Each structure stands twice: as C-alpha cells, then as structure tokens.
Amino acid sequence: MIDKSMPGSAVTSNGDAAVHSIVQASTELILEQQTPGGAYPASPSFSAYAGYCWFRDGSYIADAMSAAGHIDSAERFFDWCSNVLTSRSGRIRHIVAESLAGRPPADEQMLPTRFTLEGDDGNDEWWDFQLDGYGTWLWALAEHSARYGRPLERWAEAIALTVDYLACSWDRPCYDWWEEAAQHVHVSTLGCISSGLASIVATGHLEETSALRSTETVELIRRRVQNDGVRNTHLTKWLGTDALDASLLALIAPMNFLEPVSPVGKGTVSAVEEQLTVNNGVHRYLTDSYYGGGQWPLLSCFLGLAQEAAGNRPRARELLDWAASTARGGTELPEQVEDNLLDAEYLQPWIDRWGPSASPLLWSHAMFIRLATALDITRHTDRSASGLQTNEKGL
C-alpha cells in the first residue's frame, strides 16, 4: 500500500499560489465562524458536529491562528476555554478531591470533550470522556504566551483548575483523539497532557506546588510511555500494543513531546510513512472504518510538521501540496477524502447515518495554515517557542 514513487518537491509558483489562496480562505473561514464568545465550531454544516466546539480541535485552531499572527482570535478562544472551566470550578474541584481521596468519579462525571458554542454541556449522546484536549489547550496557551510574551494572569484560574484536573486523572483510560477505544490509555493522550503541563511549567506562571505537581506528572508520563508505549522503535496507539496511530505525530510536532531526531521520533515518523501513508495522504490507523477509513488532510499536515521539524522541508512541502489537492472548489478542506479507503463497505452506512463526511472542517483548515506558516509560505514567520521542553525528549 505504500507508494514512495512520488516525485521530489516541486515548489512552483503555481503551487505557492494555491497554498496562498487556501491559507487566505482558511483564515477568513475561521475568523468568520468564530463566535463572539471565542468558540470555534468544529464544522458548521456537518450534522453530528454542528453547534459544538471541541477542546482538541479548538486548541490546534488557536495555535495555528496564533502562529499566523492572529493574536486576538487565539486569545478569544482561550477566553472561551477559560469560561468553560471556571464556570465549572465546583465540579472540577469535586472531581479532584474525590480522585485524591481514592474515589475517582465515574467517566460520565468527568469533563466532556466538546461543549456547545455557548460553553454549555451538550444534550446529544457523545463519546465524551477524553483528556487530551485539556492538555492541548494548556500547551497552545503556553506556546502563544511564549511566542508573543503575553501574560497569563487573565487565564490563571482556568490554568490552575486544568493542572489539578490532569494531575489527578492522567492515567485513567479514556476515549482517544478519534473518540474510540475508551478501555485503553492512549499514548497520544498522554503526550498531549505531558506537553500541556510541561509547557505551562516552562512559562514560569504556576505557583510552586502546582509547578511541582505538574513536573512530577510529566515525569510519570514519560516513564510510562517509555516502558509501555514504545514498540519496534515507534510510539504506540495505546499502552501495551504494537499498533500505530497517526495522532502520535502531534507529539513530535508541533507539541514537542518527543525530539524529531531521536530514535523513537524518527521511528514514529518512518512507521507512519510506511504503514499509514498512501500517495501522501495519511490514514488515522490501519483498522479505521469511519466513513470507510479515508485519508485525512490534517494528518498529512501533522506529518509535514514532523518532517519539517526533522529538517525535511521538501517532504513537508509534498505533504502540504497533497493537502491542498483535497480542497473542494479550490479552497474548502474536508475532514477526510474517500481515496484509498481502508474498509469501503463502511462508507455508505456512515453516509446513511450522518450524511456525507464533514466539510469544511476548521481543524483541517487550521493545520494547513500551521504547516504553511512553518514552511514560511505565508506572510508571517513562525515564531513558535517549541524549544520549551528540553529534558528527556529522546525517550
């Protein structure tokens, strides 16, 4: 299934023009869709996502907007997250107290992964207990603060609540990035939590006890991943398996949990290239059947960011160009494309259930902006403070 015969980088002015117009349209779409309260809707028109904002999607969107110079948009999203958290401070303190007393609340009592645009809990059934987004918001906020020297006082209470919540729950099994397999502890989830805590510690904003608790948690996570989350020189989908998942790419770049040039960093990128990438389009994981298991432009962008971080810019550019090739009507980026489906018989059942798969997906647009920015194909230069976590990244 691997096609490594693609030609080398062709950085043409036509290609640059396509990238520029997608970046511009993506920025306009994200700004236009962001609510006055700061929420980024995941996909305004897709039946199952409409009306909701995810901590995961939103944090990567905010990071892309920040990296591309849209400070106000990113900070309005952080305000939205902060309101979601501080308006639930009693509930979060209860979760923390019960967990520390050895009585961890049931999964249904934990914070959901998505909220309505107004910041309320939703009424629809969802695969809600996911921890990664809470780490990712801390990470995106810390990166933003370091990138522009922005003070963090405005979000202080929400940061403290998140640190306490994550420090007492990081090792619980929960749904992963793809809202699946709740019985496992997922390595990408652990990495997102660790990056969030390490980045926020590096800002110097936390009080001593909070900083100590965060640092201890980061160390525990690193040890856990080192012992149970690496096989055949690559990170694994969950602890104790050999399987791979493309969400792990985010831990190399932009989240810097793992050095791109370390053996496991290199091994993870190679494994994703070999097992999950077909003609530059990246699958989530080998047994994916959601909408038949297509290829996700946002994952090609994450692979591009990891390749760029490893110094392989031509490869990153090929991946960006593939993501550009999935744009509908020239500029609209979908969640996935129905090319090289892994399990085609599952496509129609999902269409029957929810209609055609999500498009536009704001997260896809954001990752496109993020990679184009890292490759300096946009007006703005990436001033990412990704050197924040300097210890033990080689695993």
Residue 318 appears among annotated catalytic residues:
no
Look at residues 105, 163, 127 and name the one whose alpha carbon lies nearest to residue 52: 127
Three-state SS across 297-324?
Answer: HHHHHHHHHHHHHCCCHHHHHHHHHHHH
Residue of 19, 42, 201, 258 that binds ligand BGC (CB under 6 A): 42
Q: What is the CB-side half-sphere exposure of residue 345 using CA atoms within 13 A?
A: 1
Q: Angle 391-393-395 (CA atoms, 0-180°, nearest 5)?
A: 120
User: Which 362-391 positions form the footprint of ligand BGC (CB under 6 A)?
Assistant: 363
In angstroms, give the least distance from the CB of 358 to ligand BGC: 7
Q: Read off the DSSP letter of residue 392.
A: S
Question: Which residues are within 8 A (CB) of 83 and not within 5 positions of it... i.e. 6 or more apart?
Answer: 37, 119
User: Which 46-85 positions form the footprint of ligand BGC (CB under 6 A)?
Assistant: 49, 54, 56-57
CA distances from 197 to 162, 186, 325 (A): 9, 17, 36
Residue 63 appears among annotated catalytic residues:
no
Q: Which stretch binds ligand BGC (CB under 6 A): 19-27, 59-67, 153-161, 177-185?
A: 177-185
Residue in 143, 176, 308, 382 annotated catalytic: 176
Residue 143 appears among annotated catalytic residues:
no
Q: In terms of CB distance, is 54 or 322 closer to ligand BGC?
A: 54
Residue 233's identity, in one-letter code, is: T
Q: In terms of CB distance, is 129 or 177 closer to ligand BGC?
A: 177
Cα gap 139→33, rounded to integer Å? 23
User: Which 319-358 positions form the footprint of ligand BGC (CB under 6 A)?
Assistant: none
In angstroms, give the least distance from the CB of 194 to ligand BGC: 19
Residue in 164, 179, 245, 288 annotated catalytic: 179
Residue in 143, 308, 335, 382 annotated catalytic: 335
In angstroms, give the least distance from the CB of 233 to ligand BGC: 26
Residue of 129, 165, 175, 178 that binds ligand BGC (CB under 6 A): 178
Q: Which residue has the tokens 């998505």?
A: 114
The catalytic site residues sit at 176, 179, 335
| Binding site residues, ligand BGC, CB under 6 A | 42, 49, 54, 56-57, 177-179, 361, 363
